[in-house]
Amino acid sequence: MAEVRFDGRVAIVTGAGGGLGRSHALLLASRGAKVVVNDLGGTVEGTGAGSAAADKVVEEIRAAGGEAVANYNGVDTWEGGEAIVKTALDAFGKLDILINNAGILRDKSFMKMEEIDVDKVIAVHLKGGFNVTKAAFPVMRENNYGRIVMTTSNTGLYGNFGQANYGAAKLGLVGLMHTLKLEGARYNILVNTIAPIAGTRMTATVMPPDMVEKLKPEYVSPMVAYMCSEECTDTGIIFTAGAGYFSRAVMVEGPGIALNAQKGITVEDIRDRIGDIKKLEGAQPFGQSNEEIARIVAALNA
C-alpha cells in the first residue's frame, strides 16, 4: 500500500510550539505538508507570550527538509483566528487542514475556582476552536476540501476532579464538531475529534515523571495525521489515542421506555421504571439531533 502523504496540502496546527502540537506538525511536514506552526508561547496557565516555541519547531521542520512558517497569535481572539489563517494563505496560498490543539490548564477544585480560571480556559479551548475554525471554514469551502481536528479530553468525556472549567470547554468542542460535520459535509469538509493522552508539559503537572517520559506525543500523532488525510472519509467521530492504544468514543442513548403521555405521567412512574430508563443494552448513537427527536416523538404513538 502507498504511503499516506500530504504533498500539496497546507496545514495549520495551533499550539504547535511543544507537546502534541509539535509532534503533529513534524509528522505532517515529514509527509509533505506545508505547515503553519502556531503558538502564543506562554505558560501552561496561559500567561506570557513569545516567539521562541513556534520558531524552534519551524527550524526543526526546515532542518528535516520540510516547509513551515511560524505564527504567534493567540487562538483565544476572533482576530487571532483570522490572523492565523491569513498566515497560511499569505505563505502558501491555501488551507486544507486545521488541527485545533492549543491549550492551557487552570486546575482548581470547583469551590476554589475563580472567574478568570473559567474565562481563560474557555477562551483558549472552546472559543479558540471557534475562532480559528470560523476563519478556516470559508477557505476550505471555497476549495471543496477540508480536514478539521478538534482536541477534546477524557476529562470532558468522563470527568476529572479539579477540572470543571477544562472539562466543560473540552466537551464543548465535541458539540462544535457535531454541527460542523453536518455543515461541512456538502463541501468535503470532514471534522473529527481526538482525545489524546501524552506526556507533555501540561500533563507533567499531574503525571509522575516516568509516565510523562513514556507516553510520547509521537504515539498519538499518527491517528491525528490519519484524520487529516485524504484517506480519512469519516466525520463526526471521537478517536482516543495514547501509548499505542486507539479506540472510538461515542455518545449513545439507551433504548428507553415509552409511557403513555396522554394518560398523564407521574413522578412515581419514573421512580418505578428508573432501572429501565437507565438501561444501555441496545444503546445506539445518532447521526444528528433530528434522529433522536424522531425517536422521542414516536413515543406519542407507542
Catalytic residues: 166
Q: Is 228 in the site for ligand NAI (CB under 6 A)?
A: no
> Least CB distance from residue 50 to ligand NAI, whole Å?
9
Please tell me whether residue 200 binds ligand NAI under the rule CB under 6 A. Answer: yes
Q: How far is the CB of 147 from ligand NAI (least distance, A)?
A: 17
Q: Which of 26, 35, 36, 75 binds ligand NAI (CB under 6 A)?
A: 75
In whole angstroms, the minimum distance from the beta carbon of 107 to ligand NAI comes to 11
Q: Does 53 bind ligand NAI (CB under 6 A)?
A: yes
Among the listed ranges 10-18, 248-256, 263-271, 291-299, the one in contact with ligand NAI (CB under 6 A) is 10-18
Binding mask 103-122 for ligand NAI (x = CB under 6 A): xx------------------
Q: Which is nearer to ligand NAI, 129 or 184 (CB)?
A: 129
Residue whose Cβ sits closest to ligand NAI: 19
Total residues binding ligand NAI (CB under 6 A): 33
- Report the nearest approach of ligand NAI to the CB of residue 150 (Å): 9
Please name which of 171, 77, 72 lies closest in space to residue 124, comparing C-alpha atoms: 77
Which residues of this protein are in contact with ligand NAI, per CB under 6 A? Answer: 14-15, 17-21, 38-42, 44, 46, 53, 74-76, 101-104, 124, 128, 151, 153, 196-198, 200-203
